[in-house]
Amino acid sequence: MTRKTRSTAEDLRGASRLVVAATKGVTAVVQKMHRTIGGGPAILGRPLDGPMRLVTGIVYGSIRGVTTLVGVGIDVALEQLSPLLGVSQPGPERDALVAVVNGVSGDYLEETSNPLAIEMRLRQGGHALELNEEALEETLGETQGGTVSRASRTLLVMVHGSCMSDRQWGRSGHDHGAALARDLGYETVYLNYNSGRHVSTNGSDFAALLDRLVLAWPNPLDEIVIVAHSMGGLIARSACRAAELAPFGWREKLRAIVFLGTPHHGAPLERGGNWLDVLLGISRYSVPLAQLGKIRSAGVTDLRFGNVLDEHWRGRDRFELGVDTRSPLPLPDGIACYAIAGTTDGESAEKLAGDGLVPVDSALGLHDKPELTLALPEAHKWTAIGVGHLDLLDRAEVYERVRSWLSPD
């Protein structure tokens, strides 16, 4: 297991680059508003902004130039200070903060090679696994208190949701993955990934990474189980499709997937952000502010309708208001799939809105279009009453339902 330390200077460098980029972006928004408001009324659709354009161009150009110089200066200073700042062992607090930053702007972090961009890893105890047989045989089971045999023949993979990290499966003293290892003898590993990337991109990488793990597994694996929360369920479905196309051998060993609050057909909050773009664009004075709505990452905009394939987003403006035009992706054949929805209101599962983020129908794979509805048997669907989106991670009744579904009995 790689207990990788993290350069303090690299963290600071990544944060400074993000701040510099944000400053430039806000400067551009303010400049555009200044021109629009100061340019006076429009005549034939063209505002009288000749002098104003010249003045604002000089002023705001200077701000951007100074910001760039400051950013370069910080990079140089941190490079010099790096030996003095030393290294540190990343902890839960840092992981949680970086996970949120990646969820909001992870695609941008990756495109700009920002040190804060999360590289996809399979982990245990917050540490990345080395994917070779010798290292796996030595380390598997160490972080689970000796409750399972090393290199168990049943693999459980936990896939977290948007803006989260693998460490956040541990909530209120409970971790579904550790509990299933204890009760059912699984060897549990956790996927950690940049949730700001497109779901299908993460799905393809997850499929390849899981193939590497299975090929390096010390003992022949009998079966694989995936438990996924929120966006993680979309990534699991996308990974299954990628594994079928590759093809990867682990796909034949996959026995079950449990979806916890997965927005199979989207989440209203992302659609709300999309409507905000449209409403701000009604007036020419508020148009510059609409740019702020476009800081949402590719991963977040994939949650509008539940995109899981490249063709669901490729060649389209992801901020354009439109209808759901996804091509269907059925549940993978030959796998027992289960779905749990949460709801924060009511005492029954009838006509409930959802868990605060994901509607019940979306979490259970139901859709007005029959071709998009996921074919989950009734016995494989369950709604947890009085349970919010994050509560799905630690509520006892949720765990008991998952355990009963996965139990060989």
Give the pLDDT confidence score for residue 32 in this predicted structure.
53
What pLDDT does residue 294 have? 65
**Amino acid 151: pLDDT:** 59
pLDDT, tens only, 319-338: 777 788 899 999 999 999 99
**CA of residue 121 relative to chain centroid, distance:** 13
- Residue 360 CA to residue 377 CA, distance in Å, equals 16
Looking at residue 407, its pLDDT comes to: 94
Of 177-191, 349-363, 371-385, least confident by mean pLDDT is 349-363
Give pLDDT, residue 40: 52
Q: Is the pLDDT of residue 41 over 70?
A: no
- Please name the helix (run of DSSP H) or strand (run of DSSP E) that holds residue 88, with its range, or none: strand 87-88
CATH number belonging to domain 121-266+326-406: 3.40.50.1820
pLDDT of residue 148: 43
Q: How is residue 211 written in tokens?
A: 């193939």
Q: Is the pLDDT of residue 399 over 60?
A: yes
Please compute the mean of the pLDDT values over residues 221-231 and round it to a whole number. Answer: 96
Q: Evaluate if residue 116 carries a pLDDT over 70.
A: yes
Percent of the chain surpassing pLDDT 90: 50
Give the three-class secondary structure for 46.
strand
| pLDDT computed for residue 269 by the predictor | 72
* Res 90: pLDDT: 59
**Is the CB of residue 161 less than 8 Å from the CB of residue 195?**
yes
Give pLDDT, residue 14: 54
Question: Measured between alpha carbons, how far is residue 186 from residues 52, 158, 239 in Å?
Answer: 67, 12, 21
Lowest mean pLDDT among 125-129, 243-247, 342-346: 342-346
Residue 403 has pLDDT above 70, yes or no: yes
Q: Check residue 24 and give its pLDDT.
A: 47
Give the mean model confidence (pLDDT) for residues 360-371. Answer: 95
52 vs 365: which has the higher pLDDT:
365
pLDDT at 234: 98
Task: Of 27, 26, 21, 38, give the one whose Cα is nearest residue 60.
Answer: 27
Angle, vertex CA 155, rays to CA 398 and CA 102, nearest 5: 70
Where are any strands of DSSP class E within 114-222?
Answer: 121-124, 127-128, 154-159, 187-192
Q: Give the model's pLDDT for residue 278.
A: 45
Confidence (pLDDT) at 60: 42
pLDDT in tens, 137-159: 888 755 444 444 455 789 999 99
pLDDT at 295: 66
Residue 85 pLDDT exceeds 50:
no
Lowest mean pLDDT among 27-41, 104-118, 199-213: 27-41
Question: Is it the case that residue 378 has pLDDT exceeding 80?
Answer: yes
- Residue 351 has what pLDDT? 55
Q: Over the stretch 272-302, which tens digit does the pLDDT of each residue have?
A: 555 445 444 544 544 444 455 566 789 989 9
Spatial CB neighbours of 314, under 8 Å, sequence gap ≥ 6: none
2 versus 141: the higher-pLDDT residue is 141
Tell me what pLDDT residue 6 has: 56
Q: What is the mean pLDDT of residues 355-374?
A: 94
Report residue 30's pLDDT band, with 50, 70 and 90 as the boundaries. very low
At 194, list the tokens: 């940049």
Q: Mean pLDDT in the chain? A: 79
Burial of 133 per CB tally in 10 Å (0-12, 13-18, 19+): middle
pLDDT over threshold 50, residue 98 = yes
Check: pTM over 0.95? Answer yes or no: no
pLDDT tier, 265 (very low <50, low <70, confident <90, very high otherwise):
very high
In this structure, what DSSP letter does residue 327 have? P
> What pLDDT does 113 receive?
83
pLDDT attached to residue 73:
45
Q: Domain boundaries in the chain?
A: 6-89, 121-266+326-406
